Each structure stands twice: as C-alpha cells, then as structure tokens.
Structure 1
Amino acid sequence: MTLDVLYFAWLRERIGVPRENLETQAATTGDLVKELVAKGDGYAAAFSDLTSLRVAVDQELTDFDASLVGAREVAFFPPMTGG
C-alpha cells in the first residue's frame, strides 16, 4: 500500500523532510515505525522514544498498534500543549 507520511516539529527536523509518499507492507503504525527506523539514523533518532510521540491515521489520533488497513495518511508529532 502507499501512504502519505507526515512529520511535525522536531521529527521533521531530525528526518529532514515534512512528508513522504511511501510504499509499505506495514500492517500497523508500529510496523510502519520499524520500517522507518530501518531507513537511517535520522529516522532512528526521531523514533527513539515512542512515549514522546503521538500518531494519527487519516487525521484521527490513535495508538502505535493501530491498523493501517485502508489508511491513506499517517502523521507523527510530539504531544501538544495548550495554554
């Protein structure tokens, strides 16, 4: 399947791009992270601590075990703070 993958804030800085269109065999968001980490050091640094990240599939906040069946977009970002 092909996914649009978006990176926000410091993830974008570590990876070096704001978005990618990727061909993936990942079944879950966690599987996608494993594929991304294998792409290189910037990805490994960005995904080194999943407790400091959030993930959304098709613009709905979810967990790192969420299914990617039928998904078109995955976004990774740090937790948001308000004020």
Structure 2
Amino acid sequence: MNVLLFGITREIVGSDTLYIATDEKIQTVAQLKSFLAEKYPQLNKLSSLAIAVNSKYAKPEDKITIDDEIALIPPVSGG
C-alpha cells in the first residue's frame, strides 16, 4: 500500500511516499491512522491529520485496499 505524504507529514516520515507492506493487514482508515501513529509518534502532535482515499476525504470506518490512492493531509494555514 502506497501512501502519499504532504507538508509536515513528509518531513516527519522523511519521504514524499510511504510503502506499507500488505502483511500489516490494514483494512480501514482508523487502522491506518493507528499504525502510522505507532510507527511515527510525531504525527500524534499534529492538530489534525486527514486521510484522503481516491481523492476524497475519508472517515475512520472507511475501507481501504492496496489499490486505493491514499494521502495524508496535514493541517494547513492560510495567509
């Protein structure tokens, strides 16, 4: 499963994409968030962290598969 990273999430992980092996058995957005929070604790410090699946904001209960386009959307500020 490939995850696209933007903004501060890219800095935290150290790359603009993250590969998660299928043996992690991540099937929902909530499971993905939990996995990422454990692997990258600094993500927990963000004021918000949205996940988009196939270019749409996803809810925690939404299912994800290896074929989905997944992106982490960090908090943004305007100005």
Could you give the per-residue CA deviations for residues 22-81 of structure 1, whole angstroms, max 9, x where no partner exists? 223111011012222333xxx1111x1576111101111112221114642211112445
2:42 partner letter:
A
Q: What is the number of equivalent residue pairs in this alignment? A: 77
Structure 2: runs of 5+ lacking an equivalent:
none
Relative to its length, the structure with more strand (as a share) is 1
- After superposition, the CA RMSD in angstroms is 2.3
Q: Secondary structure at the match of 1:56?
A: strand
Checking the alignment, whether the CA contact within 8 Å between 2:51 and 2:70 is kept in structure 1 is yes
Identity level (%): 30
Runs of 4+ in 1 over 4 A off after TM superposition: 80-83
Checking the alignment, whether the CA contact within 8 Å between 1:57 and 1:71 is kept in structure 2 is no
